């Protein structure tokens, strides 16, 4: 990746880059849509990710290039979102804008090149990876200092306010705090970050449905609003609750008649998912991988029934994988509405088994699912 982005930068701009940074994609292990509801989440940084190369210019322009998508030119004094094939640049440009608002001084423009080995649209948060890699590279280039949590918040703010995606801190937090062979745990109410060792001999297999999601244009914003509306109805009975995650499953059931049926299901998913994160933490501590797998499978079922952010392709992959030997559990990973399913497996799960699943998928839907066998890797860093 380092040589790839260096070649892209050099061939485009005619000089070697001054700074390079890498940020990983992420696997959402458990905690679906709980982040912007003040809940708990667990994820893993992947060994795959995005690398950004940058160098200073002698004018006030920002020139951006990537392997896919049109080259983009922006002006440092007029940082505005781009449309069409250049819209990929909204993530690095948005980060630039937030860095400036956070106190970074840019005395000139810059060149930016972006290279990725993440599957785009698979729900592994290429957006957070490009945000974090850009933030690390530009901060080093222009002498701005910040901690991991600060960089995660800068990425989230860029995505919320510049891109227009109302995400929580999960994606950026996992990309920033990733650690090899560890899960990242985030309490999104307090924005406290920690890590938990992965059980030995366990693996991640990602099955990309190749039904790409575009969350800005999908029902993600609708779900965000529905969660807000559900909380407002529940606050009539529980005025002390500031987020859905502060309400217990028992309190939700007691207030069921107070809620619109749709909003009850949305709340049921978030409140139940928060409880599942706690259950997974306890099961991991006890070494009970069967219980971990059961919670993952239950998470997908709640996504399918209560949150309705799954699709038939994801349901097929999750169910088929859950029935395979050597699979503890499987669930959609990420925002949903397309993307990928994660299988949490033992070391005995084989490529032949994975290919049998994709053949069955192809027979049913008429197109291929693709496989990524990955592991928990380190977080964002300068190269």
Per-run averaged pLDDT (10 residues), the chain, 383 residues: 92 97 96 95 96 98 92 95 91 98 97 90 84 98 97 96 90 97 96 95 95 67 94 97 96 95 98 97 96 98 97 97 97 90 97 98 96 94 97
Check residue 215 and give its pLDDT: 57
Concerning whether 181 is annotated as a catalytic residue, the answer is no
- Fold category of 2-196 in CATH: Ribosomal Protein S5; domain 2 (3.30.230)
Phi, psi of 92 (to 5 degrees): -70, -35
CB neighbourhood size of 371 (10 A): 16
The DSSP bridge pattern shows strands 72-75 and 19-30 to be unpaired
Decide the pairing of beta strands 61-66 and 110-116. parallel
Do residues 281 and 269 lie in contact, with contact meaning Cβ atoms separated by under 8 Å?
no
3-state helix, strand, coil in the chain (%, to 5): 45, 25, 30
- CB atoms near residue 382 (< 10 Å): 12
Which segments within the chain are labelled E, that is strand? 19-30, 40-56, 61-66, 72-75, 110-116, 182-187, 192-197, 202-208, 327-333, 340-346, 370-374, 381-382
Ordered DSSP codes for 219-235: THHHHHHHHHHHHHHHT
Distance CA(79)–CA(70), nearest Å, equals: 17
Q: Which of 59, 70, 150, 171 is catalytic?
A: 171
């Amino acid at each position: 990746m380092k040589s790839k982005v260096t070649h892209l930068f050099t061939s485009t701009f005619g000089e070697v880059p001054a700074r390079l940074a890498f940020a990983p994609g992420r696997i959402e292990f458990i905690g679906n849509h709980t982040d912007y509801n003040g809940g708990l989440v667990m994820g893993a940084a992947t060994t795959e990710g995005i690398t950004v190369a940058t160098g200073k210019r002698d004018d006030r322009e920002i020139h951006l290039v990537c392997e896919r998508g049109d080259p983009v030119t922006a002006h440092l004094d007029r940082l505005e979102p781009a449309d069409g094939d250049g819209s990929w640049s909204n993530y690095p440009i948005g980060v630039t804008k937030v860095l400036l608002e956070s106190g970074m001084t840019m005395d000139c423009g810059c060149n930016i090149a972006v290279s990725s080995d993440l599957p785009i649209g698979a729900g592994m948060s290429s957006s957070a990876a490009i945000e974090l890699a850009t933030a690390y590279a530009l901060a080093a280039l222009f002498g701005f200092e910040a901690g991991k949590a600060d960089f995660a918040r800068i990425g989230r703010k860029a995505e919320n306010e510049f891109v227009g995606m109302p995400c929580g801190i999960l994606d950026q937090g996992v990309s920033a705090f990733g650690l090899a062979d560890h899960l990242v745990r985030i309490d999104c109410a307090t924005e406290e970050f920690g890590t938990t060792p992965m059980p030995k001999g366990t693996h991640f297999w990602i099955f990309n449905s190749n039904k790409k999601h575009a969350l800005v244009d999908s029902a993600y914003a609708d779900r965000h609003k529905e969660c807000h509306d559900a909380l407002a109805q529940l606050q009539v009975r529980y005025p002390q609750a500031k987020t859905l995650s502060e309400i217990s499953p028992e309190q939700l059931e007691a207030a069921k008649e107070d809620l619109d049926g749709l909003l009850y299901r949305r709340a049921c998913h978030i409140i139940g998912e928060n409880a599942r994160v706690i259950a997974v933490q306890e099961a991991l501590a006890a070494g009970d991988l069967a219980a971990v797998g059961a919670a993952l499978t239950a998470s997908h079922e709640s996504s399918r029934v209560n949150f309705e952010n799954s699709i038939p392709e994801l349901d097929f992959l999750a169910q088929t994988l859950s029935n395979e030997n050597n699979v503890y559990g499987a669930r959609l990973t990420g925002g949903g509405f397309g993307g990928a399913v994660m299988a949490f497996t033992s070391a005995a799960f084989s490529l032949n088994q994975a290919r049998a699943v994709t053949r069955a998928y192809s027979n049913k839907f008429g197109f291929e699912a693709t496989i990524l066998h990955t592991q928990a890797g380190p977080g964002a860093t300068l190269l």
